[in-house]
């Protein structure tokens, strides 16, 4: 597996992009609507690492509790079915079974603390 990105839930996409780009020196790589999830996402990167920050703004979400902003951490996997089978056999909670979102095949599992981890199949 390879670490891909960390997703943070944000209250204001424009303000958050300005913070990460202007104050932390990150570069906006792309920004798009995810209509299936009623959300908007933006990916930001830095020249010295492949790891990305994904900002996620959930349309209609108005209850924000400080400390709940970590949305998920994403990992690349080569064989989704094999990885899910192994994790399930080890008793890992599969929060969302593998499905297709756009052109990607993804799934979500939970770590022992309830933190969501996204698996993205990369051939």
Q: What is the pTM of this model?
A: 0.78
The tens digit of pLDDT for each residue in 83-118 reads 999 999 999 999 999 999 989 999 999 987 788 999
Query: What's the pLDDT at 87?
Result: 94
* CATH number of residue 18's parent domain: 3.10.180.10
120 pLDDT more than 90? yes
Give the Cα separation of 115 and 7 in Å (integer).
11
Using an 8 Å Cβ cutoff, are 111 and 119 in contact? no
* pLDDT higher at 11 or 43: 43
Looking at the structure of the chain, the number of domains it has is: 1
Contacts of 88 (CB under 8 A, 6+ apart): 94
Domain around 102:
2-121
> What residues pair up with 106 in beta bridges, in sequence order?
99, 120
Give catalytic residues, as residue numbers.
Answer: 118
Q: What is the pLDDT of residue 69?
A: 84
pLDDT tens digits along 4-27: 999 999 989 999 999 899 988 899
pLDDT at position 98: 97
């Amino acid at each position: 597996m390879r670490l891909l990105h960390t997703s943070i839930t944000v209250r204001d996409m424009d303000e958050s992009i300005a913070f990460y780009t202007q104050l932390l020196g990150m570069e906006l790589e792309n920004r798009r609507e995810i209509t299936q999830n009623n959300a908007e996402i933006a990916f930001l990167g830095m020249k010295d690492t492949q790891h990305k920050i994904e900002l996620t703004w959930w349309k209609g979400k108005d209850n924000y509790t400080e400390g709940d902003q970590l949305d998920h951490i994403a990992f690349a996997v080569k064989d989704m079915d094999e990885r899910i089978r192994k994790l399930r056999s080890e008793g890992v909670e599969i929060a969302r079974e593998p499905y297709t979102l756009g052109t990607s095949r993804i799934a979500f599992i939970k770590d022992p603390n309830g933190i969501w981890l996204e698996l993205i199949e990369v051939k």
